[in-house]
Amino acid sequence: MAVDYTTRDGVAVITLNNPPVNGLGHSTRQGIVEGLDRAAQDPSVRAIVLTGAGKAFSGGADITEFNTPKALQEPMLGTVIKAVENSAKPVVAAIHSVAMGGGLELALGAHYRVAAPGAQIALPEVKLGLLPGAGGTQRLPRAIGLEAALNMIVSGATVKSEQLAQSGLFDEMADGDLLEAALACARKVGEQAGPHPKLRERKIEHPNAAGFIQFARNTVASMAKQFPAPHKCIDAVEAGVKQGFEKGLAFERECFLALVQTPESRALRHAFFGERAASKIPDVPSDTPTREIRQVAVIGAGTMGGGIAMNFVNAGLPVTLLETKQDALDRGLATIRKNYENTLKKGKLTQEALDGRMALIRPTLSYDDLNDADLIVEAVFEELGVKEQVFKKLDEVAKPGAILASNTSTLDLNRIAAFTKRPQDVVGMHFFSPANVMKLLEVVRGSETSKDVLATVMKLAKKIRKTAVVSGVCDGFIGNRMVEQYIRQALFMLEEGALPQQVDRAIEKFGFAMGPFRMSDLAGNDIGWAIRKRRYQEHPDLHYSKIADRLCETGRFGQKTGGGWYDYKPGDRTAHPSKLVDEMIVGYSNEVGATRRKIADEEIVERLVFALVNEGAKILEEGIASKPSDIDMVYLTGYGFPLWRGGPMLYADAVGLYNVERSIRRYASQANGDGWQPAKTIAELAAQGRGFNS
């Protein structure tokens, strides 16, 4: 039963009971209307309380119903809200924990609202590429004023109920038991003769509504270029201001129905569910017991170790930071302090909080100080010999049951685990640089990693606010294994006729934050060079363009050496096309006998993105990733893939796998086509007319 109905001394209590967040799916909507009808027909009932069981008043419309017939099955949410608003007996919404989206809109339809402190109040539809579609753009401005409402609607931001106590949204804040307060309110208003207040009847008062709306438009224009929803939010609020409630409501509905079909909204909803799905591992049940993590240790205070330590400290977990030499330890600590000082300068951290965080770090040179750690994350040099030394030592000093994690980006986790006598406790925690900023965490599951270790690390990832995605063991895990194919194509295209600036421009226009060459200049071209040298030995059969090696041989490692694929002026990160590099590229094409041709931007984008998709499909086939949305989450949170396209796998679905396969086969028949064996899954799904996500 999605809705419960009881009566308490002349008050009907309608309780949404649709776990986990009382989403307003069809049966819940129906239950509310039935409850209202029952209350209307019961002469002993004088007022109604509408509330939610469990951990929410309501998290809004049921997003899983969107674009299915159920979403349009009456009673639709607008109908339910109308029934609430038109109830002759007054309705009091009792709001606790979460009132978001359609949930808040439902409460706005009630005649009175009583809220518990601490409730999260929001119209977050814009974050799903939508606008509030059940009157939110019309009633919220009438409740709390144009400016505050527009800010909430356009940003989708969550505001705590107590911050809205004086806003006009709530008639009462409950300091004790919410239901008792709502019942008392209902009994009081139940004695009063109607009509009871309806937000729709209020006017939107503002001294310069047109001016403020224009200001909002200008702000959104610069911030939300790729997303239509924020613009529509403003249009709908404006329609209500200019044309009144009914016309505003009709316009809002029209916009909602259009937005829910847009690829941008699909992408954002895919990311919403993808993020949640990533934390679920098929063979690790959600009730798997987890280990307690109270004390963390990090080995190595270099680029990654420092950032990794900051993550735990930011979440209030004490960290023992171990280095081999005092000067390396001092350097690492100084970098951490500097990072916090930068945050302080921006006004986002107080001195007291900074001191508190630094105090949580216990620097040491001695492994004896690690015996109390529940989790030890290793971030030392990327050499198997060094990892061997460290893990053997950890096996000696770590307490039983401690989780031993490696941040390795290229080494075989199973070999690292085998350096210990407890491979079940070893896991990969592959952070991305800068580790204190980047959202992505690849959790690498070794062949022996135990389920409770995985469950613990996934839970901990939430605590340190990372998007954790599980990857099996393979070279490069999910993200870097795919990016290698992307880079290979980028380099081949230079050889065939493109220049770095053209490749970067095309893929940046597609929406990547940074093209492969600007990216490589930022990270350091020497890193890829080192990896390729290893590849040439391990996979002599793999065909690579040597063009990047030529660049590195001239010492052009990127921004840090003042030049890479581009030229850089001292102290300035702006990439300037380099005549020298362009000549080197043309010379290289001649040397390998390639006839340079004009490569269209469309081909550049396809070859880069489909290289990701093809490798992603192979990763799925091998079980390295357990679902396509995991791959998309890796690319959205770690590699700057455009959010409005939802990740490479969802993008491939939008293009159609039939078309993807055809392109792949075409590229296979061109020069440098040897890397283009289409993944079996792509061919199979295309033949069935399906996509990765269908």
Interface residue with ligand 3HC among 63, 229, 259, 435 (CB under 6 A) is 63
Our finding on whether 382 is near ligand NAI (CB under 6 A) is yes
DSSP 8-state class, residue 563: B
- Residue 221: what residue type? A
Residue with smallest beta-carbon separation from ligand NAI: 302
**Partner touching 60 among ligand 3HC, ligand NAI, none, CB below 5 to 8 Å by kind:** ligand 3HC
Task: Please state the length of the chain.
Answer: 694
Our finding on whether 75 is near ligand NAI (CB under 6 A) is no
CB 139 within 8 Å of CB 119: no
- Give one DSSP letter per residue of 131-196, joined into a string: ---SSHHHHHHHHH-HHHHHHHHHH---EEGGGGTTTTS-SEE-SS-HHHHHHHHHHHHHHS-SPP
Our finding on whether 336 is near ligand 3HC (CB under 6 A) is no
Our finding on whether 380 is near ligand NAI (CB under 6 A) is yes
Q: Segment near ligand 3HC (CB under 6 A), from 133-141, 314-322, 413-421, 589-597? A: 133-141
Distance CA 404, CA 424 (A): 9
- Torsion angle of C-alpha atoms 222, 228, 231, 237, degrees rounded to 10: -160
Of the pair 238, 252, the CB lying nearest ligand 3HC is at 252
- Give one DSSP letter per residue of 182-228, joined into a string: HHHHHHHHHHS-SPPP-GGGS----TTHHHHHHHHHHHHHHH-TT-S
**Partner touching 305 among ligand 3HC, ligand NAI, none, CB below 5 to 8 Å by kind:** ligand NAI
Name the catalytic one among 85, 105, 495, 606: 105
Our finding on whether 301 is near ligand NAI (CB under 6 A) is yes
- Give one DSSP letter per residue of 3-66, joined into a string: EEEEEETTEEEEEE--TTTT---HHHHHHHHHHHHHHHH-TT--EEEEEE-TT-SB--S-GGGT
Place of tokens 């093209």: 515
Our finding on whether 476 is near ligand 3HC (CB under 6 A) is no
- Residue 167: what residue type? S
Q: Segment near ligand NAI (CB under 6 A), from 115-123, 159-167, 323-331, 436-444? A: 323-331
**Partner touching 482 among ligand 3HC, ligand NAI, none, CB below 5 to 8 Å by kind:** none
Our finding on whether 438 is near ligand NAI (CB under 6 A) is no
**Partner touching 433 among ligand 3HC, ligand NAI, none, CB below 5 to 8 Å by kind:** ligand NAI
Catalytic: 603? no
Of residues 15-34, which lie at the interface with ligand 3HC (CB under 6 A)?
20-21, 23
Catalytic: 105? yes
82 alpha carbon, distance to own chain's centre = 35
Interface residue with ligand NAI among 28, 408, 489, 693 (CB under 6 A) is 408
**Partner touching 101 among ligand 3HC, ligand NAI, none, CB below 5 to 8 Å by kind:** ligand 3HC
Of the pair 181, 394, the CB lying nearest ligand NAI is at 394
Distance CA 124, CA 25 (A): 17
Regarding beta strands 11-16 and 426-431, do their DSSP bridges make them parallel or antiparallel, or are they unpaired?
Answer: unpaired
Question: Hey, which residues does 145 pair with through a beta bridge?
Answer: none
Our finding on whether 458 is near ligand 3HC (CB under 6 A) is no
Our finding on whether 252 is near ligand 3HC (CB under 6 A) is no
**Contact code string over 265-304 relative to ligand 3HC, x by CB under 6 A:** --------x--x----------------------------
**Contact code string over 583-612 relative to ligand 3HC, x by CB under 6 A:** ------------------------------
Tokens (6 digits) for 417: 């685990």
Contacts of 207 (CB under 8 A, 6+ apart): none
**Partner touching 98 among ligand 3HC, ligand NAI, none, CB below 5 to 8 Å by kind:** ligand 3HC
Distance CA 631, CA 33 (A): 41
Q: Segment near ligand NAI (CB under 6 A), from 143-151, 187-195, 401-409, 531-539? A: 401-409
Of the pair 146, 301, the CB lying nearest ligand NAI is at 301
CB 616 within 8 Å of CB 648: yes
Of residues 80-99, which lie at the interface with ligand 3HC (CB under 6 A)?
98
585 alpha carbon, distance to own chain's centre = 38
**Contact code string over 102-131 relative to ligand NAI, x by CB under 6 A:** ------------------------------
| Nearest residue to 564 (alpha-carbon basis) of 595, 585, 542 | 585
| Nearest residue to 620 (alpha-carbon basis) of 549, 685, 551, 534 | 685
Distance CA 640, CA 635 (A): 7
Our finding on whether 326 is near ligand NAI (CB under 6 A) is no
Summarize as ranges the residues that interact with ligand NAI (CB under 6 A): 299-305, 322-324, 328, 379-382, 386, 389-390, 407-409, 431-433
Q: Summarize as ranges the residues that interact with ligand 3HC (CB under 6 A).
A: 20-21, 23, 56, 59-64, 77, 98, 100-102, 105, 124-125, 128, 130, 132-134, 136, 273, 276
Active site residues: 105, 125
